[in-house]
């Protein structure tokens, strides 16, 4: 019994042609989340220009992450960038995500990232609890002074009024600090080479 006559004939849809003037109809891609090939970020060694780029990229990604996964401030607080333990953890998670979703990666890599993300969320909760940063206020992570060291300075809380403006100021200060270190290094190098 031949059943080929019973199968409906579906025509392939014609590809839709967009005029060059129809840019607003094309799907928009957030180019802020598209990076160069993934590479580890050593925050201790970044130049001022590299730091500015990395801060912007990491901040965009952390914002995407917390919105996409509905993460509370107990996991990713607004002032995460003031706490090196959170910066290093989130930066590592970001690089892992870039690698897992790289087009050349195998199909199970995203599942591995999600498994590691579950572990990372637990570590982030521990870092946030230890640092004392919260949704509406922040304080520097307390440091324990070892015998023979100067006692740690007392920590005071800061109210968080406008996180985005403060982040911009934070990055500017970090970039300026790095630029000053670079200038001092090259000035010393020039003096030593005379």
pLDDT at 16 over 90: no
Q: What is the mean pLDDT of the chain?
A: 85
Span of 4-18, 155-169, 176-190 with lowest mean pLDDT: 4-18
Beta-bridge partner residues of 137 = 159
- List Cβ neighbours of 52 (8 Å cut-off, separation of 6 or more): 171, 175
| Cβ-count burial 159-194 (b if 16+ within 10 Å, e if not) | ebeebeebbeebbeebbeebeeeeeeeeeeeeeeee
Segment 58-84 mean pLDDT: 97
Q: Which pLDDT belongs to residue 30?
A: 52
Residue 8, pLDDT score? 42
**What is the Cα–Cα distance from 26 to 69, expressed in whole angstroms?**
27
Q: Record the tokens describing residue 82, joined without a space.
A: 């003031």
What lies within 8 Å, CB to CB, of 57 at 6+ separation is: 32, 35, 94
Quick one: pLDDT band at residue 169, thresholds 50, 70, 90? very high
Lowest mean pLDDT among 32-36, 98-102, 175-179: 32-36
């Amino acid at each position: 019994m031949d059943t080929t006559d019973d199968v409906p004939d579906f025509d392939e849809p014609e590809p839709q042609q967009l005029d060059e003037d129809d840019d607003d109809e094309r799907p928009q891609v957030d180019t802020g989340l598209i990076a160069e090939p993934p590479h580890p970020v050593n925050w201790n060694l970044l130049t001022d220009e590299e730091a500015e780029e990395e801060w912007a990229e990491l901040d965009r990604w952390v914002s995407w992450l917390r919105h996409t996964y509905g993460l509370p401030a107990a996991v990713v607080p607004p002032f995460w960038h003031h706490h090196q333990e959170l910066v290093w953890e989130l930066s590592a998670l970001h690089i892992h995500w870039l690698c897992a979703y790289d087009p050349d990666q195998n199909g199970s890599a995203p599942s591995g990232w999600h498994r590691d993300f579950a572990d990372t969320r637990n570590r982030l909760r521990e870092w946030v609890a230890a640092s004392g940063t919260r949704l509406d206020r922040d304080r520097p992570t307390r440091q324990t002074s070892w015998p023979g060291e100067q006692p740690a300075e007392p920590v005071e809380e800061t109210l968080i009024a406008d996180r985005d403006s403060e982040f911009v100021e934070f990055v500017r200060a970090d970039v300026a600090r790095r630029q000053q270190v670079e200038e001092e290094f090259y000035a010393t190098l020039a003096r030593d080479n005379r």
